[in-house]
Chains A and B, each alone.
Chain A
């Protein structure tokens, strides 16, 4: 059993992952650090950031300290604008309750996301065991629902967030068995089965915006809603990335992702996770 701290995200059903691919081209940063910083860059100033446990929380903390000082970190447990002097190890960790603007409850937190005014301003950061080309997520079971080969934690708030908010960012380990043509269980709705599917199902506007893995970043085509390769990490090629996925994606739009700057790394290492509880 490998160390739980090696996993990409402790958020939703990730503990079955293999040890991460190590980036041997640059000794200056780890892939986990790069993933965190790439996610932080996607957070805009003024966003309300929903985070789960682990790397998503670090990304939100990094964004607030680097590029989005007016973003608000908030948790499904009801804590809003937590100071996070120490990194929490769960969304109910007492560390999320200290120096908040409001300590609420679950009913409030999810209503904020379903709310017509505040919901579209929320960016949700997620993780999952499986993802398909439309960004639907499975964090419940691999195998049959009744006798699963692997049982994961279940939705938690993930399905609610994916249903309600304006945009979502999903962290994934880049493996063929995780990028699958068909999910074993749809826990959280992405673009469902393509253009207009969310509207037909009755879901609010919004949906998956990007996927960040230990090799690459993916976006979703604005017309087809299918996943495409938007960026590859230094040291990886688009072909390598495609070879580690269970479905074909368009790689023609991909550009190399800028490595973390010294400043970004300094904030992440010294301010966000000095004890490397999440970064490992």
Chain B
């Protein structure tokens, strides 16, 4: 835990330091919004593999990490990119071929699991999923759980309400905490010490950050602490939760960043076509990830015309009238 120091570093240095082969990683964002894509691409470029990945409803970030072969195990509620890929395509192929092990939860359960980790309790209760296969079917065996001290021994447990009839909920599902090695978020603003300001929906990013040993924050803008302190009720994560701050404009691209830019329908549609075919996907990986040195080089390749088309309108926070076919 680092307090009161400048934590701004380069993305490659942050990924090199905190993301490692076999690590338990969670990434923020939701389907096609605020995925930490620059960091995802950097992980792929550094060829970090055997990752145990956590998300609730991540789309593009999860799919690209899986597609590039970085992921061995996945705990998730939903892998989809809205209308661009109702089921993420490389995810689908990897699960169907048995290339990755997956364990399914619901969105609320994943949120509560991150929250339990953030709160420092071993589990939290909910009434969700009673009577379903989310409880019955485990993706990870007892043996696999026993072999990794970072995994709980059980998937989900049903408990009779210990308070009896209080609260009129006879049974509860206990969801185990997630305590991951590293969480990566992309946010709108941060200061150099790591105080975070997100705009729009925060999804479960706050819980995801606070349940992790280490946190990398990539941001559209680095601002001074005074700017953040002038409106403190708009800030969500204190600096002592954060290990690295990386200034990466368009760091969520090709997903959206509310009030900065929209998702890029052209990129996401092209991605879907490439993802459907193994040969084309290899070419995609080479051309858009391995052969570009960093995120700025990817943006240069995309070009200002396309980036201007997705620029957020200041009134609404998205690109009004954008061609999204």
Is A146 in contact with B107, judged by CB distance below 8 angstroms? no
Instruction: Return chain B residues, CB-CB under 8 Å to A86.
Output: 318, 320-321
The B interface, classified by DSSP as helix, strand, loop or mixed, is: loop
- B107 touches which one: A13, A110, A278 (CB < 8 A)? A110
Number of A-B contacts (CB under 8 A): 231
Within A43-95, the residues touching B (CB, 8 Å) are 53-54, 76-79, 85-86, 88-95
Binds A, one of B40-48, B127-135, B217-225, B298-306: B127-135
Size class of A's contact patch? 35 or more
**Shortest Cβ distance from A147 into B: residue:** B98
Could you say which residues of chain A place their CB within 8 Å of the CB of B136?
186
Contact with A along B5-35 (1 / 0, CB 8 A): 0000000000000000000000001111110
Bound CA–CA A156/B106 (angstroms): 5
A77 and B83 contacting across the interface, CB-CB below 8 Å: no
Partner of B325, one of A151, A156, A186, A277: A277
Interface majority SS (helix, strand, loop, mixed), chain A: loop
**Is A189 in contact with B132, judged by CB distance below 8 angstroms?**
yes
Cα distance A90–B201 when bound, in Å? Answer: 13
B106 touches A155 (CB 8 A): yes
**B201 and A104 within 8 A (CB):** yes
Query: Contacts A94-B317, A151-B92, A160-B106: A15 and B87 contacting too (C-beta < 8 A)?
Result: yes
CB-CB < 8 A to A164: which residues of B? 127-128
For the complex formed, measure the closest distance between the CB of A180 and the CB atoms of chain B, giving whole angstroms.
14
By beta carbon, the residue of chain A nearest B204 is A106
| Residues 153-207 of A contacting B (Cβ, < 8 Å) | 153-160, 163-164, 185-189, 192, 197-198, 201-204
Q: For A95, what are the chain B residues with a Cβ–Cβ distance below 8 Å?
A: 316, 318
Interface size of B by CB at 8 A reads 76
Cα–Cα, bound, A72→B57 (Å):
23
A25 at the interface (CB under 8 A from B): no
The answer to whether A186 and B132 touch (CB under 8 A), given A89-B82, A145-B137, A164-B127, is yes
Stretch at the interface among A1-9, A236-244, A255-263: A1-9
Contacts of B115 in A (CB 8 A): 107
For residue B178, which residues in chain A have a CB less than 8 angstroms away from its CB? none
| Contact across chains for B200 and A94 when beta carbons are under 8 A apart | yes
B182-206 near A? 1/0 per residue, CB < 8 Å:
0000000000000000001111111
B171 with A159: CB separation less than 8 A: no
The contact of A202 among B29, B87, B108, B172, by CB within 8 Å, is B172
Contacts of A103 in B (CB 8 A): 200-201
Q: Give B159's nearest chain A residue, CB to CB.
A: A202
8 Å CB interface, B162-188 against A: 168-172
Report yes or no: B83 in contact with A163, Cβ–Cβ below 8 A: no
Say whether A140 faces chain B, with CB atoms less than 8 Å apart: yes
In the assembled complex, the Cα of A148 lies from the Cα of B91 at a distance in Å of: 12
- Chain A residue contacts of B172, Cβ below 8 A: 202
Out of B81, B112, B128, B133, name the residue touching A185 (CB < 8 Å). B133
A155 lies within 8 A of B107 (CB): yes
Which of A91, A104, A187, A188 makes the CB contact (< 8 A) with B30? A91
Does A217 touch B at the CB level, under 8 Å? no
Beta-carbon contact of A97 and B171 below 8 Å? no
A91 lies within 8 A of B31 (CB): yes
Contact pattern, B 108-144, Cβ under 8 Å of A = 1, otherwise 0 = 1101100100000000001111111110110100000
A202 vs B172: C-alpha distance when bound (angstroms): 8
Contact A90 B32 (CB under 8 A): yes
Q: How far is the CA of A10 from the CA of B170 in the complex (A)?
A: 35
Nearest residue, chain A, Cβ from B112: A107
Pairwise interchain contact B96-A150, C-beta atoms closer than 8 A: yes
The reply to whether the CB of B251 lies closer than 8 angstroms to some CB of chain A is: no
For window 288-325 of chain B, which residues contact chain A by CB distance below 8 Å?
Answer: 312, 316-318, 320-321, 324-325
User: In the complex, what distance in Å separates the CA atom of A1 from the CA atom of B321?
Assistant: 28
Is B95 on the interface with A (CB-CB < 8 A)?
yes
Nearest B residue to A114 via CB reads B127
Q: In the complex, are the beta carbons of A154 and B77 less than 8 A apart? A: yes
Is the CB–CB distance between B30 and A159 below 8 Å? no
Q: Which residues of A contact B276 (CB under 8 A)?
A: 1
Q: Can you pick out 21 interface pairs between chain A and chain B where the beta carbons lie within 8 Å of each other?
A: A11-B86, A78-B201, A78-B203, A92-B32, A92-B82, A94-B262, A94-B318, A97-B200, A105-B204, A145-B133, A153-B86, A154-B77, A155-B77, A155-B106, A156-B106, A157-B78, A160-B108, A187-B104, A187-B133, A198-B131, A203-B130
Sample of 14 more A-B contacts, CB < 8 Å, known A53-B82, A91-B57, A97-B317:
A77-B201, A88-B82, A90-B80, A107-B112, A145-B133, A153-B86, A156-B78, A157-B106, A163-B130, A186-B136, A201-B130, A201-B131, A202-B172, A277-B325
